[in-house]
Amino acid sequence: MKASDALAQFLIAHRIQTCFELVGGMITHLLDSFAQTGQFNIVSMHHEQSAAFAAEGVARYAKGKTIAVAMGTSGPGATNLITGIGSCWFDSVPCLFITGQVNTHELRGNRPIRQQGFQELDIVEVVHSLTKYAARVDCPEDLLPELHKALTAAFNGRQGPVLLDIPNDIQRADIPDALVEKWLNMPLLANTGTAISIDDLNTLKAVCGEAKRPLFCIGGGARWADSMDAWLLTADALGIPYVSTLMGHERVIARGQYMNMIGSYGNREANWAVQNCDLLIVLGARLDVRQTGADTKDFARKAHIVQVDIDPFQLGNRVHADLNICAATESFFREFPLHVDTFPDLDHAWLHELSMQRSDAQINEYPEWEISPSEIFKKLNNRLSCQPVDYVCDVGNHQMWAAQNLRLSQNNAVHYSGGMGAMGFALPTAIGVALQSQGRVVVITGDGSLQINIQELDTLNRLALDITIIVMNNAALGMVKNFQDMYFNGRDQSTRKGYSSPSFTNIASAYGIESRCVTNITDLDDAFSLMAGRKGPLLIEIMLEGATECRPRLAFGSKLDEQFPAITK
């Protein structure tokens, strides 16, 4: 069997049947084989970075249980995938990346030259630090074993991206049918991560038995656990409060005991909860500087800290916990069910204080603005709360506005670019999410972010997906402009000076996408009403000239509960 045909059959056998790509000479054999099966959804993008993000979107919607392929040709096609590979790596998203390569006899090998074949590039070496497994296939018989190793690595333990680099002559070579049959029937090796130990469970139970003001923190490592929502539902019923990180917020439903998101741009009540609890149990969060603030010694200043993480190297990294537990969060949720007696000394005044803190924080942080970001998301919450919808956010102030204000219901999810923080993430990722969900997706983006992968508006129009793009256009790179206001006396090089943005309403029309421009709150209601009774692409451009600040925020060096601006009572 031709090697490229064998690869296609192997992917089908493992239910990987969506491929995002930008065609190039060194992947034509693979694409032809995928197409000839009649069982692949091949989506041609306009940039390999977009193909990578779209493939990431498939896995994000499926909570890592289904993945897609992102494919690029040799040289620039391969390097254009790297930002998406990094995005998957930092946010623990499984994805298969395949790059074409020049013929094996054109490789430079160990010769001290820069390049032998046209567009030759050692992509395996380049992405080594951003993948769980990466290999070049130099022998046809190694193709399926290497693919088996790669997919096993992608799905198991702390999930992440993998890459295979396949020379052109290997793609068109023959593989013995018996060998193909062997590997088509070889199951992937299953290892979902370390289970929580009996000793850790007993220690944790004892710690909980002494707590009066407990708090759970849901991180990105917990967001896809199958048992998480039922476990949090029990926590809510028992009156046990919880917060989340940015990535944890992706799947946490806004129930009564949810105190929202912690961090530098976190909700005031969430940061107050962290700083005033006496037991903080952190589930799948790495506690980076945006979650804790710069002063790690003051983080959770009154609390006994327990950190649970699948990755042993994340434990005790920045914040030194009193108890470190290396375990998969799914194992934690299954083996540590909550009961009435889990916290026998729970102080009910603690719950009242938290409720008051949350109530006091429900203010319009932008009273002087024509259109308040918090009002935008309040209207979105009201309009879409009862509908199945996935939000996908780009990176910038708009991402933080969304994270502070989106309140998810049972039918909602939101997807953030976390560790990579990649502008240009949202539109192509939304395409992947929408293809997998076959449902409504809402993109939250800014003028700077949308311009990075704006070419995919054509892809959206071609696919006619049910995606609404909300562009919050402040005609600036607002988050960095805010840094310049704080630290450079407002000198705005490259955020205003030297920066420009177009009319996205006009651009959407040029791509054949219906659009509306919003300049006041009445326009906003009218534009949002368009989403109710229609399907298909829609772009809503909200004009926010001069809106370059996210409130509340934490200045570097400040303590977590000293966000600016302070609330005056």
CB 548 within 8 A of CB 482: yes
Q: What is the pLDDT of residue 161?
A: 98
Give the residue among 41, 35, 28, 38 at the shortest CA–CA distance from 434: 41
The distance between the two most distant Cα atoms of the chain, rounded to a whole number of Å, is 77
Show Cβ contacts of residue 261 under 8 Å, excluding neighbours closer than 6 positions. 243, 244, 245, 246, 248, 249, 267, 270, 403, 404
CB 37 within 8 A of CB 62: no
All structural domains of the chain:
3-184 (3.40.50.970), 198-360 (3.40.50.1220), 373-543 (3.40.50.970)
- Please give the Cα distance from 351 to 204 (Å, whole number): 21
CB 299 within 8 A of CB 236: no
**The token pair that represents 5 in the structure block:** 């045909």
Residues of the chain by 3-state class (helix, strand, coil), percent to 5:
40, 15, 45
Q: What is the pLDDT of residue 533?
A: 75
**Coil vs helix vs strand at 383:** helix
In sequence order, which ranges of 135-223 are alpha helices (DSSP H)? 143-155, 168-171, 177-184, 198-210
Residue 542: count other Cβ atoms within 10 Å of its Cβ.
Answer: 23
Each residue's pLDDT, cut to its tens digit, for the chain (569 residues) gives 999 999 999 999 999 999 999 999 999 999 999 999 999 999 999 999 999 999 999 999 999 999 999 999 999 999 999 999 999 999 999 999 999 999 999 999 999 989 988 999 999 999 999 999 999 999 999 999 999 999 999 999 999 999 999 999 999 999 999 999 999 999 998 888 899 999 999 999 999 999 999 999 999 999 999 999 999 999 999 999 999 999 999 999 999 999 999 999 999 999 999 999 999 999 999 999 999 999 999 999 999 999 999 999 999 999 999 999 999 999 999 999 999 999 999 999 999 999 999 999 999 899 999 999 999 999 999 999 888 999 999 999 999 999 999 999 999 999 999 999 999 999 999 999 999 999 999 999 999 999 999 999 999 999 999 999 999 999 999 899 888 888 899 899 999 999 999 999 999 999 999 999 999 988 999 999 988 778 999 999 999 998 999 999 998 889 999 999 988 75
Give the residue among 374, 356, 354, 381 at the shortest CA–CA distance from 242: 354
The model carries a pTM of 0.97
CB 283 within 8 A of CB 222: yes
